[in-house]
Amino acid sequence: MSPPPLALPPILCWTLLAALTLAAAAYAAAHLFFLPMDRVRTVEQVGFAHVEGGSARRKRMWVNRLRRWRKAGRAPPPYPNGWYAIFESRQVWRTSWRR
């Protein structure tokens, strides 16, 4: 005759399930709120989709040239279509508001 199978009491099963659920939620929250996210973007995703060129070196050259032009003020501002600048960030203080 074989011994009876081990059975856990129902309260212990629910306690174990709650503890595992809480541990999984804490692990997910730690990754979501406290660990940095690695967001690597290509040049096409950050506003240089119009840059054409076959090789990566040629594309890098054009991107650097466009960056220099933007610093010098020779390129249009990088706002999405339909947006326009009201104030520069240096004109509005952290606790102020303007109309």
Count CB atoms within 10 A of the CB of residue 2: 4
pTM of the model: 0.34
Of residues 50 and 24, more confidence is placed in: 24
Give percent helix, percent strand, percent coil of the chain, each to the nearest 5: 50, 0, 50
- List of residues 6+ apart from 58 with CB closer than 8 A: none
98 and 87 in contact (C-beta within 8 Å)? yes
Residue closest to 48 by CA, chosen among 75, 74, 11: 75
Q: What mean pLDDT do residues 48-71 have?
A: 77
Residue 76 confidence class, pLDDT cut points 50, 70, 90: low
